[in-house]
A and B are shown apart, each in its own frame.
Chain A
Amino acid sequence: MHSQFMHTSWSLSAVIVLGTLLTGCGNRQPETPEPLQPAPAEPQTTAAPGPAVQADAAAATVTAQKLSPPAASREPELADMKVAQVVSEKLGVPVELRYQLDGDAMAGQPVTLHLAAVPRVAGANLTMSIKQESGIAFAKDELHAAKVDAATPYRQQLQLARQVGGPAEIRVLVTMDFPIGTGFTYFSVPLGGGSAQSKPAVDGTE
């Protein structure tokens, strides 16, 4: 049964058409169950089209669409990239996500976002993708690495543009397969500010 998780997880992802689940996806806030009221529909995210660009990543197949056609910029050193915070500290993927923005995304101009997923242990089928949200335009394609080695950065770079009133952060989903199952972790990447290599204090047990 080991392969069942992996196989079904991936087949599911492959067959479901992008975007079919986005419309009305989101009452993100459970409310007091009375009185009954319909939840507001969440606007569908629009990602600007653009040519595909091959990003640099060892042992990874990366395809990223960019908002504008300039060639991929040089990847920053891993040590110079900031560490993204996990959204939920329950059991997830053993991956550290680092990021760097070549510019101030909050200023409204397109900026290049560098992402690097660094697994702490080996596995398979690492994916990295950005959650589509209103007010942020970016490439849709996700990174996929079939073979995952420990301590190897799996990089992706793309351009994103934050619209006025857009979110102050983006969410990056990383998934990974293991011999006994599949894990996922959502990371939070702030579009402005943030200190390099800092992590929040933990006051709970996950």
Chain B
Amino acid sequence: MPHRGGSGHPVRNTSTSLILSGLVSLLTLVACGGGGGGGSSNRAPVANAGMAQTVASGATVNLNSTGSSDPDGSIAAYQWTQTSGPAVSISNAGAALTSFVAPTVTAATTLTFSLVVTDNQGLNSAASSVTITVSPPAVTLAGVVRYARAPFDLPTVRLDYANASFLPARGVVVRVLNASTQAVLASGVTLDDGSYSLNVPGNTSVTVQVEARLLRDSSLPLPRWNVRVQDGTGSTLTPYRYTGSAINSTNGNGDVNIPLGISATGAATGTRASGPFAILDTIYTALQAAITAMPAANFPTLYVDWGAQTEGSFFTPGSGLHIALRADLTEDTDEFDQPVIAHEFGHYLQYSFARSDSLGGNHGLGDKLDLRVAFNEGFATGFAAIALNDQVYYDTFVRSDGTLDGGGYFIETNPATNPPGDARGVGCWCNEATVWSLVWDLYDGNVDANDGVALPFSAIWQAMIGSNSTTPAFVSIFSYIHALKAIRPVEAGTIDTLVAAQNISSATIDDFATTETHAPFLNVLPVYADIFRGTPKIVHSIDDGGPNATDGDHNKLGAHALLRYVAQSSGNVTITVTTSNTSFEADPDFVMYRSGVPLSLGLCDQNPIGQCAPNAQRNEVATNVAVTAGTTYVIDAYDCANGCTTVQGTHGDYDLTVSIQ
């Protein structure tokens, strides 16, 4: 039992055993000639009082000496002594392991204890100290986390920074830190109203830190997710964080308002702290839509890159799943463009749970796209409209002179309402606007021209992840509608009416568009040409848009010719593609797929010599391609002047002769 001295500090416990131990040691040294020069002198033990601890008021605190040691014997005795702080009663000050009950304090209080050990020859160690910090009794710190959002103003088609408001930050990680030590005292996730409630030591100076991360981890049942916004493109970066001012945990206001950092005219006035949380809140909305269809989903970790290094807005499944969003206030910044964010999240969903065969690449409204690109982009936009329940798709930007502006599209508007032959975007299986208008019309409750169907998103998504994801064809509006009709036979008729109005032969639709008759221009039908072993097939790689077009972007309609091959027998085949392109750089490439998985590459760029044989050999050959009887394959053939990401040669309309031997 320590005794309190006049100063109020505890005094050392003059232990009888310690005195005796000293005397024994002294006698031993004398008997041995003072310990100098002998070959068997005893070395002192080493005391270890353990690691510093932070404990709550009233908690039982263990003191542990097991780290102590003696280099040439054993430890025979222990002595714990309190050296500072409010006096406490050590349960057994002479034990290797002991404890005490932490006092109840009103502010963080430090207690210090000293340990001296004695070895089996009575030699004492130097003292070892340990610090115990006692926290005041826990209190509940509650508050609401809000972030500033600049709204989209439809009448002026721009972001309205002047009317930014604070909205609840939903589902984000919130931590309470000790303001002095930065130690994490408690952590949790905000609720749908942005609120949080955490137990922390009372009467302590703390800060509330909000991390730009949506988290529902393994401590909770499915669904689960982990989405974070970071400044960079890696997978190990720290998410953005915003930390509020220091407050007292007992009587402080735990609310956190994350500021905009942008003036009414769109100029930065400080750190744009609310941007990451605006992005997350849109993704949170999209997640809620997704879990209506996948209530037990385990969403793979998603990284959102938003910062100075981000040159573009896109989804990429490279090193981890990433959404990149632009953040340039002088050109284009996307943190408040909710449809753009939800669109990219739609790509993430497709990639993670369904299947995407898209080629990627540039695309503009009204472009006649490769059917894979048209469907992938159109579905993502349709998903965005459904998730946000908003048929206005907007994407704001800054004009060259600095004025705020915006672009936008009405998702409800069907391209097929344009006059027949109108080049500005007629209904087409190659038009992403056709796809998004169909996805939206399948969902919305409006009964308008040709739209008598209203499906829950769960049904729309079920078609995505069903047979549409395993089709031997490419994923397209054909395979999707085919899958949807199969799972919704009651609505098949109304779906046909809707789809047919977009110039798609819906009534007899199948994955390979076998009966499709609508051709945006010549030589794009059939969508898939059937090819048989031993019978060469001539198909076309077309400079997109017809003979007057000037651009040969690889992802436009016609650049790639698609063939369907059903193997009649198993074995190895040789596939040859020859182009009619006579230019020096002529390069016919092809890839064979099975259910979207590339099997055989006939890519000139991978030729060991590094280039195609000019003129004399305008073909590409793949030998020993193993095929299985009864399996359906797709061959994607193209002239690199039209179909490569890096254009090779002069755009043009070229015949491709494909043979399987």
A residues near B (Cβ < 8 Å) are 1-2, 4-5, 8-9, 12-13, 16, 18-34, 36-39, 41-42, 78, 86-96, 118, 120-123, 129-132, 140, 142, 150-151, 153, 171-173, 175, 178-186, 197-206
Known A91-B432, A201-B645: A28·B329 in contact at CB below 8 Å: yes
- The answer to whether A94 touches B332, judged by C-beta atoms less than 8 angstroms apart, is no
Contacts of A183 in B (CB 8 A): 364-365, 407, 409
Q: List 11 A-B contacts (CB under 8 A).
A: A4-B154, A8-B156, A21-B266, A27-B261, A34-B242, A36-B273, A88-B326, A91-B343, A120-B549, A180-B433, A205-B347
Contacts of A90 in B (CB 8 A): 312-314, 340, 343, 395
> How far is B230's CA from A33's CA once the two chains are assembled, in angstroms?
11
Point out the residue from A8, A91, A132 that lies within 8 Å of B157, measured CB to CB.
A8
Known A28-B327, A37-B271, A42-B330: A181·B407 in contact at CB below 8 Å: yes
Give the contacts of B251-273 with A (CB-CB under 8 A): 258-259, 261, 263, 265-273
- The answer to whether A91 touches B364, judged by C-beta atoms less than 8 angstroms apart, is yes
Contacts of A200 in B (CB 8 A): 645-646
Other A-B contacts than A197-B647, A203-B360, 13 sampled, CB-CB below 8 A, are A25-B268, A26-B330, A34-B242, A34-B243, A39-B271, A88-B311, A90-B314, A90-B395, A94-B366, A96-B553, A121-B423, A186-B397, A205-B314
Contacts of A198 in B (CB 8 A): 646-647
- The answer to whether B157 touches A180, judged by C-beta atoms less than 8 angstroms apart, is no
- The answer to whether B401 touches A140, judged by C-beta atoms less than 8 angstroms apart, is yes
- The answer to whether A199 touches B400, judged by C-beta atoms less than 8 angstroms apart, is no
B358: interface (CB < 8 Å): yes
- The answer to whether A173 touches B366, judged by C-beta atoms less than 8 angstroms apart, is no
Give the contacts of B287-340 with A (CB-CB under 8 A): 306-308, 311-316, 318, 324, 326-332, 340
B548: interface (CB < 8 Å): yes
> How far is B51's CA from A206's CA once the two chains are assembled, in angstroms?
52
- The answer to whether B397 touches A184, judged by C-beta atoms less than 8 angstroms apart, is yes
> How far is B551's CA from A95's CA once the two chains are assembled, in angstroms?
9
- The answer to whether B425 touches A178, judged by C-beta atoms less than 8 angstroms apart, is yes
A-B CB proximity, top 6 nearest: A27-B268, A94-B364, A29-B308, A33-B273, A181-B409, A39-B268
> How far is B462's CA from A173's CA once the two chains are assembled, in angstroms?
40
> How far is B259's CA from A36's CA once the two chains are assembled, in angstroms?
10
Residue-by-residue, is B392-433 near A (CB-CB < 8 Å gives 1, otherwise 0)? 010101111111111111100101001000111100000011
Point out the residue from A23, A29, A206 that lies within 8 Å of B327, measured CB to CB.
A29
Number of interface residues of B (CB under 8 A): 97
Q: Nearest-CB distance from B175 to chain A (Å)?
A: 13
Give the contacts of B417-469 with A (CB-CB under 8 A): 418, 422-425, 432-433
The main secondary structure of chain A at its interface with chain B is: loop
Known A31-B231, A34-B243, A184-B397: A86·B362 in contact at CB below 8 Å: yes
Known A121-B367, A205-B358: A32·B240 in contact at CB below 8 Å: yes
- The answer to whether A24 touches B263, judged by C-beta atoms less than 8 angstroms apart, is yes
Q: Nearest-CB distance from B606 to chain A (Å)?
A: 14
- The answer to whether B265 touches A20, judged by C-beta atoms less than 8 angstroms apart, is yes
- The answer to whether B402 touches A202, judged by C-beta atoms less than 8 angstroms apart, is no
B558: interface (CB < 8 Å): no
- The answer to whether B271 touches A31, judged by C-beta atoms less than 8 angstroms apart, is yes
Q: Nearest-CB distance from A88 to chain B (Å)?
A: 4
> How far is B241's CA from A103's CA once the two chains are assembled, in angstroms?
47
> How far is B556's CA from A23's CA once the two chains are assembled, in angstroms?
41
Q: Nearest-CB distance from A49 to chain B (Å)?
A: 16
- The answer to whether A25 touches B551, judged by C-beta atoms less than 8 angstroms apart, is no
Q: Nearest-CB distance from B439 to chain A (Å)?
A: 15
- The answer to whether A12 touches B241, judged by C-beta atoms less than 8 angstroms apart, is no
With both beta carbons as reference points, the residue of chain B lying nearest to A198 in the complex is identified as B646
Contacts of B267 in A (CB 8 A): 21, 23-27, 41
Point out the residue from A19, A89, A91, A203 that lies within 8 Å of B402, measured CB to CB.
A19
Known A36-B271, A90-B395, A131-B400: A9·B405 in contact at CB below 8 Å: yes
- The answer to whether B402 touches A95, judged by C-beta atoms less than 8 angstroms apart, is no
Contacts of A12 in B (CB 8 A): 156-158, 403-405
- The answer to whether B360 touches A89, judged by C-beta atoms less than 8 angstroms apart, is yes
Point out the residue from A20, A151, A153, A175 that lies within 8 Å of B545, measured CB to CB.
A151
> How far is B340's CA from A184's CA once the two chains are assembled, in angstroms?
13
Known A96-B550, A120-B367, A183-B364: A203·B316 in contact at CB below 8 Å: yes
Contacts of A34 in B (CB 8 A): 241-243, 271, 273
> How far is B314's CA from A89's CA once the two chains are assembled, in angstroms?
7
Known A93-B364, A178-B366: A30·B231 in contact at CB below 8 Å: yes
> How far is B312's CA from A180's CA once the two chains are assembled, in angstroms?
24
Q: Which of A9, A23, A129, A206 has the most CB of B within 10 A?
A: A206
- The answer to whether B403 touches A92, judged by C-beta atoms less than 8 angstroms apart, is no
Q: Nearest-CB distance from A40 to chain B (Å)?
A: 8
With both beta carbons as reference points, the residue of chain B lying nearest to A92 in the complex is identified as B364
- The answer to whether B269 touches A33, judged by C-beta atoms less than 8 angstroms apart, is no
Contacts of B406 in A (CB 8 A): 9, 182
With both beta carbons as reference points, the residue of chain A lying nearest to B316 in the complex is identified as A204
B168: interface (CB < 8 Å): no
B382: interface (CB < 8 Å): no
- The answer to whether A118 touches B316, judged by C-beta atoms less than 8 angstroms apart, is no
B275: interface (CB < 8 Å): yes
- The answer to whether B365 touches A91, judged by C-beta atoms less than 8 angstroms apart, is yes
- The answer to whether A39 touches B269, judged by C-beta atoms less than 8 angstroms apart, is yes
Contacts of B410 in A (CB 8 A): 1-2, 5, 180-181
B608: interface (CB < 8 Å): no
Point out the residue from B306, B347, B358, B400 that lies within 8 Å of A173, measured CB to CB.
B400
Known A12-B403, A36-B273: A28·B330 in contact at CB below 8 Å: yes
- The answer to whether B316 touches A92, judged by C-beta atoms less than 8 angstroms apart, is no
Contacts of A19 in B (CB 8 A): 401-402
Give the contacts of B136-193 with A (CB-CB under 8 A): 154-158
Q: Nearest-CB distance from B558 to chain A (Å)?
A: 12
Contacts of B343 in A (CB 8 A): 90-91
- The answer to whether A32 touches B361, judged by C-beta atoms less than 8 angstroms apart, is no
- The answer to whether B265 touches A21, judged by C-beta atoms less than 8 angstroms apart, is yes
- The answer to whether B377 touches A91, judged by C-beta atoms less than 8 angstroms apart, is yes
- The answer to whether B361 touches A180, judged by C-beta atoms less than 8 angstroms apart, is no
Point out the residue from B231, B270, B311, B365 that lies within 8 Å of A39, measured CB to CB.
B270
- The answer to whether A185 touches B364, judged by C-beta atoms less than 8 angstroms apart, is yes
> How far is B395's CA from A129's CA once the two chains are assembled, in angstroms?
18
Known A8-B156, A200-B645: A87·B399 in contact at CB below 8 Å: no
Q: Nearest-CB distance from B197 to chain A (Å)?
A: 23
Q: Nearest-CB distance from A105 to chain B (Å)?
A: 18
Contacts of A129 in B (CB 8 A): 399-401
- The answer to whether A182 touches B407, judged by C-beta atoms less than 8 angstroms apart, is yes
> How far is B274's CA from A31's CA once the two chains are assembled, in angstroms?
11
> How far is B553's CA from A145's CA once the two chains are assembled, in angstroms?
24
- The answer to whether B331 touches A171, judged by C-beta atoms less than 8 angstroms apart, is yes
Q: Which of A38, A39, A129, A205 has the most CB of B within 10 A?
A: A205
B376: interface (CB < 8 Å): yes
> How far is B271's CA from A42's CA once the two chains are assembled, in angstroms?
15
Contacts of A23 in B (CB 8 A): 267
Contacts of B340 in A (CB 8 A): 90
Known A12-B157, A118-B550, A205-B316: A186·B407 in contact at CB below 8 Å: no
Point out the residue from B156, B318, B328, B404 that lies within 8 Å of A28, measured CB to CB.
B328
Contacts of A121 in B (CB 8 A): 364-367, 423-425, 545
Contacts of A122 in B (CB 8 A): 422-424
Point out the residue from B266, B273, B307 that lies within 8 Å of A29, measured CB to CB.
B307
Known A171-B331, A186-B331, A206-B377: A25·B402 in contact at CB below 8 Å: yes
